[in-house]
Structure 1
Amino acid sequence: MGPVGSWVVRAGAGFGRACVGAVVCLLVPGVWAAAVGLGVWCGAEHPWSWIGPAVIVCVGTVGLARPVCRTVRSLVARWTGTGIPDGYRQPGPVTQLSTGYWWNGFSYERSRRDAVMDQRMRLWWSDPATWRDLRFVLVAPVTAGVVAALPPAAVTAGGLGLGQAAAVPRPVGGLALVLAVAVAPYAWRAVEKVAVRFLRPSPAMVLAERVDELTAQRADATVAQAAEIRRIERDLHDGAQARLVALGLALATAEALMDRDPRQAKALMREARAGATASLTELRELIRGISPPVLSERGLVDAVRALALDVPLDVAVSAAGPLRLDPPIESAVYFGIAELLTNAVKHAGASRARVSLVRDDTGLVVEVEDDGRGGADARPGGGLAGLRRRLAVFDGTLGITSPAGGPTRVRMAVPCE
């Protein structure tokens, strides 16, 4: 495609984006204009006739603010790949107390419906993002909306001018069409500039969101630590401790039989030795579940390769050289890979898997891919959701791509120096 063809494609795509951006940015002023027209049509001699249009202006502005802002963010992300976080406060759980009332984090209500409605209203009113969205729908029409409306307005003016029989409007119409073609590839970019400037969360909102995130991570870490302690206690009580008690009883019995029945005493001693060996094996397995020795001795890459040998899959492990990270990060990544490979065996029915570990300027990136049936997602309370929470403690992220029929590709990214 030559330069002319490329310009035509850019102009056509830019014209379409400019039209969409103009419609979205000028939607609220359109509601205002319709309300004013309704007031004029009802008659200006009656002062009360303007109450309805005023209500339409207020309700329309407030009701359209958040949908317009969400649409703008979606368009900017689709057109430019620039993601703009919304920063909206998320509602907390609504729980029923023993008294029968419902608690929504703000007040007690008699029914769940009333509690949810009250929570939504309070969140909407107290959320700084609400007032940021209202500011955007007031600023966008006179900035991005006007600029994005230039190409369609110029095309309209050009069509009207060329349709006139007089000599003067025709050159003006031709100039309008030239202007539309010239600005079409660039006019829509004003939507991105204004959206990035006015729709980004403020530092106070980012800080509040970070505090909420860290609070949730602390709660998850506390719960996970308590669960891990209970698991260790249960394994020790049901496994090694029971075997050691049996070992003590066997030794006491052998001591009592040593003089009367040496043969039976020797048999008990042999059973006690076998019990001691089994107890030692269980203790080693328990220690390996807490922190694999190969992980602390030889590093993450060798630990993952040793793990791949124990998994009933054809696992290929690739890494860009040895990787030594902080022990908590290595442990989280190791057990994350172990859980993903276990899921590939138990749930995906996979036969092959691939593990890739890469260290770049931002941190560690781990990709685990299998040829299973797909359909994996981070359901609340599931293993993948728990893995995402564990990585979030280190500001890590978990990305899942798992279409129906496979393959499943999971990407873990953990920032580290």
Structure 2
Amino acid sequence: MTRWIVGAGTGLWRAGAVAATTMAVPALWAAAVVLAVWWVGSPWTWIPLFVLPAVGTLGLSRPVCRWVRALVARWTGTEIPPGYQEPPPVTQLSTGFWWNGYTYAKSAKQAREEQEWRHKLRDPATWRDLRFVEIVALTAGVAALVPLAGIALAALGFATSSYVAGVAGLLVGIGTAPYGWRLLAPVAVRFLRPPAATTLADRVSELTAQRADTTIAQAAEIRRIERDLHDGAQARLVALGLSLATAEKLMDTDPAQAKALLQEARTGAATSLTELRELVQGINPPVLNERGLVDAVRAFALDSPLELTVDAEPLTLDPPIESAAYFAVVELVTNAIRHAEAGSASISIAREKVALVIVVEDNGRGGAAVRPGGGLEGLQRRLAAFDGTLEVASPAGGPTRVKMTVPCESS
């Protein structure tokens, strides 16, 4: 009984929120009709009857759709992407005028203001929003009014001693309250989602940006490998060759010196081999190839100067995902050591449904955020190549908690 009462109260509140949101445009048109009736006989009656509500509908359509998305996301957890097209940037020409993609303006502010309404009118999402505010009012809006009308009838009936009407209204209001708001989510998902063409265009733009990021990252990695080879192993191997050539010449005349050079050459060869192994490990650790992500992270934790605890379950993933996840963990732990001054950290690796979820938490000083050009933004872009996401929670003073989610299949 208590659960039903709580559900009815929550339903009434949500129905009121749905009605207030979805019926804003119809209320505007109703007010326009009342105003037009009040102005009967005036030659300007057509202004409040047509112009004002039309302009008001255009101005309210986008805020109403934004409120609907927020309500659906809050109550059901369903995220509906806006799908609005981004306007082109305004640019200043050599003549001093500003071009906004449509017309010229004398200032950047004027160019953006004119661009805003022009772009809004040409955006297909604007006409989708105008259609949606009509549909949602006739569907979810009407459904949300039923429990509210029942409560209003009950209040009126009890106030006028019409107890039959009061009880009937109360039963209707309470009985329909848990369901009056539920039509909002399916209507919004069906009619408010971006059109397929817009979704495809956004996906193409996203993939183009990811390809550019991948190309840049590959070029940087190649330069790093070339630099490490040139400055490290290559230089040592050249010195090794010179030592062996000199030792060969001194073998008959100065055996002791030749022996010393051979010992130095052996040391140099061992050092070069160590550097080559470290370089190869930086490209792709052998333990990652041989034993998978979890064991590679555990091996990294053993060698880390930070006190690390790893909580993971056995997973078998595609090599590209394992590599991306491993280096993401390494980068986050390195950031905790260098920037957060952390003393300990924990790493959690698990599979939730069809996604790999990795959580790295440290006890550092916090303050980490995804900033343009920063390391976390680069990590976010690399995960986006696999449709992955990055969530950062790092209040000042710590702790810092980073959650990475990558869609994948695991066996």
Under a length normalisation based on structure 1, what TM-score does the superposition of the two structures give?
Answer: 0.87
CA distance in 1, matches of 2:27, 2:276: 73
- Counterpart secondary structure, 1:386: helix
Residue 292 in 1 paired to residue 288 in 2? no
Secondary structure in 1 matching 2:368: coil
Which one of 95, 108, 132 corresponds to residue 128 of structure 2?
Answer: 132
Q: CA deviation at 1:39?
A: 3.2
What letter matches 2:223 in structure 1? R
Question: Residue 298 of structure 1: CA displacement?
Answer: 2.2
Provide, for residues 81-103 of structure 1, a one-character-per-residue CA deviation record: whole Å limited to 9, x for no partner: 22222223345666667887767
Query: Counterpart in 2 of 1:378?
Result: 370
Query: What is the match of residue 109 of structure 2?
Result: 113
Amino acid at match of 1:331: S
Rounded Cα–Cα distance in structure 2 between residues aligned with 1:382 and 1:98? 33
Q: Which residue of 2 aligns with 1:20?
A: 17
SS in 1 for 2:44: helix
Determine the C-alpha separation between the residues in 1 that align with 2:254 and 2:105.
77
Of residues 40, 64, 69, the one that matches 1:68 is 64
| Partner residue, 1:31 | 28
| Local SS of the residue matching 1:376 | coil
Q: Residue 200 of structure 2 aligns with which residue?
A: 207
In 1, are the aligned partners of 2:387 and 2:406 still within 8 Å (CA)? yes
Residues 287 and 133 of structure 1, relative CA distance in 2, 3 Å threshold = same
CA distance in 2, matches of 1:39, 1:376: 57
TM-superposed CA distance for 1:23, in Å, is 0.6
Distance, in Å, in 2 between the alignment partners of 1:378 and 1:317 is 24
1:283 partner amino acid: L
| 1:407 alignment partner in structure 2 | 399
Mapped partners of 2:268, 2:111: distance in 1: 59
Deviations 1:153-183 (A, max 9, x none): 2222332232226xxx442233222221221
Q: 1:416 and 1:406, CA in 2 relative to 1: closer, same or farther beyond 3 A?
A: same
Equivalent of 1:220 in 213, 216, 222: 213
Q: Is the 8 A contact 2:33 2:48 kept in 1?
A: no
Structural mapping, 1:10-409, within 5 Å: 10-41=7-38, 43-51=39-47, 54-91=50-87, 111-114=107-110, 116-117=112-113, 120-121=116-117, 123-164=119-160, 169-251=162-244, 266-321=259-314, 323-409=315-401
Give a deviation string over 1:334-360, Cα, whole Å, max 9, x none. 101111111222222222222222245
Q: Give the 3-state SS of the residue equivalent to 1:187 in structure 2.
A: coil
Q: Give distance in 1, aligned partners of 2:44 and 2:66.
A: 35
Distance across 2 between alignment mates of 1:357 and 1:214? 27
Shifted more, 32-41 versus 192-201: the winner is 32-41
Report SS of the residue matched to 1:185.
coil
Distance 1:108 1:213, change over 3 A: farther
Q: Deviations over 1:347-381 (max 9, x none)?
A: 22222222222245414322222233333322222
Identify which range, 15-24 or 91-100, moves more after superposition: 91-100
Decide whether aligned partners of structure 1 residues 298 and 87 sit closer, same or farther in structure 2, where only a CA change above 3 A counts: same
Letter in 2 for 1:398: L
| Equivalent residues, number | 409
What is the RMSD of the two structures over their aligned residues, measured on CA atoms?
A: 2.9
Gaps of 5+ in 2: none
Kindly provide the amino acid, as one letter, of the partner of residue 412 in structure 1: M
Classify 1:163/1:301 alpha carbon distance in 2 versus 1 (closer, same or farther; 3 Å).
closer
Distance 2:248 2:93 in 1: 60
Q: Which amino acid counterpart does residue 229 of structure 2 have in structure 1?
A: L
Structure 2 counterpart of 1:224, which letter? Answer: A
**Separation in 2 of the partners of 1:164 and 1:314?**
74
**Structure 1, 404-413 or 381-390: larger mean CA deviation:** 404-413
Give the Cα–Cα distance (whole angstroms) in 1 for the partners of residues 362 and 261 of structure 2: 49
Specify the code of the residue in structure 2 equivalent to 1:357. Answer: I
Unaligned runs of 5+ in 1: none
Equivalent pair of 2:25/2:60 in contact (CA under 8 Å):
yes
CA drift at 1:221: 1.1
